[in-house]
């Protein structure tokens, strides 16, 4: 079991302060504070249009915030491009673009970061090492793949997400953002993906898990950050909440009405 995170004493891996994002006249994020601590899985939940993707697009350098500050390991950063986010060791696994279907598992794992061998300026792809490494990491993760040469299109939906998660693990990402990884999956695929995410956490990686599926999120997340129409309306540890409360919050019901709960 992973150790409990002391959020009072620990510097967050990612800290975002007072973030505002305007798209023309749309105020997509309103004075949002958001943090991710080392080794935790944060569920980012909220209804359609709540601002989840916008927040993640700021973290991954797709868009810039209109105002507010982003800190990475305590240092103020300007994540102005997708490359900049990669340099910080932030990886995103999109539900529909996680893998390239007609490439092998090994090719997918090293896509854009192929290993090479050779002396001096003449370099060739080191296919053998990539195969061996692919075999090792998929075995470690428990991916049911017959060979690293298997084309990814023959993998199940859950295994495809697994390949993308294995890639993030191999390259030692500090933060992995999973965008709706369980939507479109059958029950066994969901179970596998949730297991893979837990292994990612076990390996010390922090995870942001974006989903509309609260029961899936509740199974693995340590903390939930709830958005409603651009506002952060909740930031709760798992042990402080349940799926019913999260559901109400994301629908716009105010967080913990103390007067109501005090009434007999």
Ligand X SMILES: Nc1ncnc2c1ncn2[C@@H]1O[C@H](COP(=O)(O)OP(=O)(O)OP(=O)(O)O)[C@@H](O)[C@H]1O
Binding site for ligand X (CB under 6 A): 23, 26, 28, 46, 48-54
Extract the tokens encoding 217. 């999120």
Contacts of 57 (CB under 8 A, 6+ apart): 63
The CB density around residue 136, as the number of other CB atoms within 10 Å, is 13
Q: Which is nearer to ligand X, 143 or 208 (CB)?
A: 208
CB of 106 to ligand X, least distance (A): 32
Q: Do the beta carbons of residue 209 and residue 217 sit within 8 Å?
A: yes
Rounded to whole angstroms, what are the CA distances from 213 to 158, 217, 257? Answer: 16, 6, 24
Buried b / exposed e over 159-196, threshold 16 CB at 10 Å, is bbbbbbbbbbbbeebbbbbbbbbbeebeeebbebbbbb
Q: Which is nearer to ligand X, 53 or 213 (CB)?
A: 53
Q: Which is nearer to ligand X, 54 or 92 (CB)?
A: 54
Q: Which is nearer to ligand X, 183 or 203 (CB)?
A: 183
Q: Phi, psi at residue 68, to the nearest 5°?
A: 110, 170
Distance CA 26, CA 226 (A): 19
CB of 211 to ligand X, least distance (A): 9
Q: Which is nearer to ligand X, 54 or 138 (CB)?
A: 54
Q: Which is nearer to ligand X, 39 or 51 (CB)?
A: 51
CB of 102 to ligand X, least distance (A): 28
Q: Do the beta carbons of residue 202 and residue 213 sit within 8 Å?
A: no
Q: Which is nearer to ligand X, 51 or 234 (CB)?
A: 51
CB of 27 to ligand X, least distance (A): 8
CB of 231 to ligand X, least distance (A): 11
Q: Do the beta carbons of residue 75 and residue 12 sit within 8 Å?
A: no
CB of 65 to ligand X, least distance (A): 12
DSSP element (H, E) containing 20:
strand 14-23
What SS3 state is found at 231?
strand
CB of 68 to ligand X, least distance (A): 15
- Rounded to 5°, angle at Cα 173 from 167 and 177: 85
């Amino acid at each position: 079991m992973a150790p409990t995170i002391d959020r009072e004493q620990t510097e967050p891996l990612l800290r975002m302060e007072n973030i505002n994002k305007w798209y023309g006249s749309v105020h997509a994020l309103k004075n949002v504070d958001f943090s991710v601590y080392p080794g935790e899985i944060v569920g980012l939940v909220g209804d359609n249009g709540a601002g989840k993707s916008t927040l993640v697009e700021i973290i991954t350098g797709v868009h810039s915030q209109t105002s507010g500050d982003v800190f990475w390991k305590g240092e103020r950063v300007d994540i102005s491009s997708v490359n900049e986010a990669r340099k910080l060791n932030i990886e995103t696994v999109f539900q529909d673009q996680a893998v390239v279907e007609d490439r092998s598992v090994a090719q997918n794992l090293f896509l854009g970061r192929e290993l090479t061998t050779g002396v001096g300026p003449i370099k060739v792809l080191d296919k053998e090492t990539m195969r061996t490494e692919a075999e090792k990491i998929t075995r470690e993760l428990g991916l049911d793949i017959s060979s690293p040469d298997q084309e990814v299109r023959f993998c199940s939906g859950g295994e495809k997400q697994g390949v993308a998660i294995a890639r993030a693990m191999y390259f030692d990402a500090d933060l992995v953002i999973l965008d709706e990884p369980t939507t479109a999956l059958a029950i066994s695929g969901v179970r596998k993906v949730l297991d893979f995410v837990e292994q990612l956490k076990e390996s010390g990686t922090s995870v942001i898990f974006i989903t509309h599926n609260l029961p899936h999120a509740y199974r693995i997340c340590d903390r939930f950050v709830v958005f409603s129409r651009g506002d952060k309306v909740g930031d709760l540890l798992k042990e402080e909440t349940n799926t019913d409360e999260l559901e109400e919050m994301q629908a716009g019901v105010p967080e913990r009405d103390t007067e109501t709960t005090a009434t007999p």
